[in-house]
């Protein structure tokens, strides 16, 4: 049987962070108390994870949030960066198991083998023509952010791809 489990992550918060002119990763990191790892990597500080989604651009992720979490994040970054709450714009899927990387690699044009895509890495790409942000978490599970309007299409792709892998005997 397949060693893949997936589900929707609930109660999370997402917000884009863009530094103001003249500010950069150091200023954002100082304001948040996070050592920001350069590039397409995750930087963790307390209950906040910053996903590097572009040069000096981050998607902030908080697993459990209060209703005003984005406002509080904006206050912490006042004068340093702009914050836009994206919590309602995305659906987060958590995908885990020994075959999770094989599953995602069926649609993602990246090498997700454990030796190549290590915990903390982030990729902005597409799976089945659906824009995704993929983060390999420290616990080995993938967190995949998909625009809410494409969530059902992505869920369908997951189900069909798992079934195809099982039929082809590609599961560990």
How does pLDDT run across 84-141, given as a tens digit for each residue?
A: 999 999 999 999 999 999 999 999 999 999 999 999 999 999 999 999 999 999 999 9
> Which residue in this structure is represented by tokens 């209703």?
67
Q: Burial, 61: exposed, middle or buried (Cβ in 10 Å; 0-12, 13-18, 19+)? A: buried
Q: Which residues neighbour 76 within 8 Å (Cβ) at sequence distance 6 or greater? A: 31, 32
Residue 63: per-residue pLDDT: 87
So what's the architecture of 89-167 in CATH?
Answer: 2-Layer Sandwich (3.30)
Q: Does position 83 have pLDDT exceeding 80, yes or no? A: yes
15 alpha-carbon distance from chain centroid = 11
Classify the phi-psi angles of 49: left when phi > 0, otherwise alpha if psi is within -120 to 50, otherwise beta: beta
How sure is the predictor about 36, in pLDDT bands with cuts at 50, 70 and 90?
Answer: very high
How does pLDDT run across 52-64, given as a tens digit for each residue?
A: 999 999 999 998 8
Q: Tell me which of 3.40.440.10, 3.30.70.100, 3.40.50.300, 3.30.70.1520 is the CATH number of domain 10-85.
A: 3.30.70.1520
pTM, 2 dp: 0.92
Where do the domains of the chain lie? 10-85, 89-167
């Amino acid at each position: 049987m397949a060693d893949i489990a997936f589900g929707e992550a609930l109660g999370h918060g997402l917000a884009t962070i863009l530094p103001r002119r003249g500010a950069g990763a150091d200023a954002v990191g100082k304001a948040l108390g996070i050592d920001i790892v350069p590039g397409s990597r995750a930087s963790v500080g307390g209950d906040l994870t910053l996903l590097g989604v572009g040069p000096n651009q981050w998607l902030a992720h908080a697993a459990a949030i209060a209703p005003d979490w984005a406002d509080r994040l904006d206050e912490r970054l006042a004068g340093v960066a702009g914050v836009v709450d994206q919590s309602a714009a995305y659906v987060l899927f958590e995908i885990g198991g020994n075959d999770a990387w094989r599953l995602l690699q069926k649609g993602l044009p990246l090498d997700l083998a454990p030796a190549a895509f290590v915990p903390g890495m982030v990729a902005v790409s597409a799976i089945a023509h659906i824009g995704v942000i993929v983060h390999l978490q420290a616990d080995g599970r993938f967190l995949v952010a998909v625009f809410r309007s494409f969530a059902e299409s992505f869920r369908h792709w997951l189900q069909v791809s798992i079934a195809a892998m099982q039929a082809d005997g590609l599961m560990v």
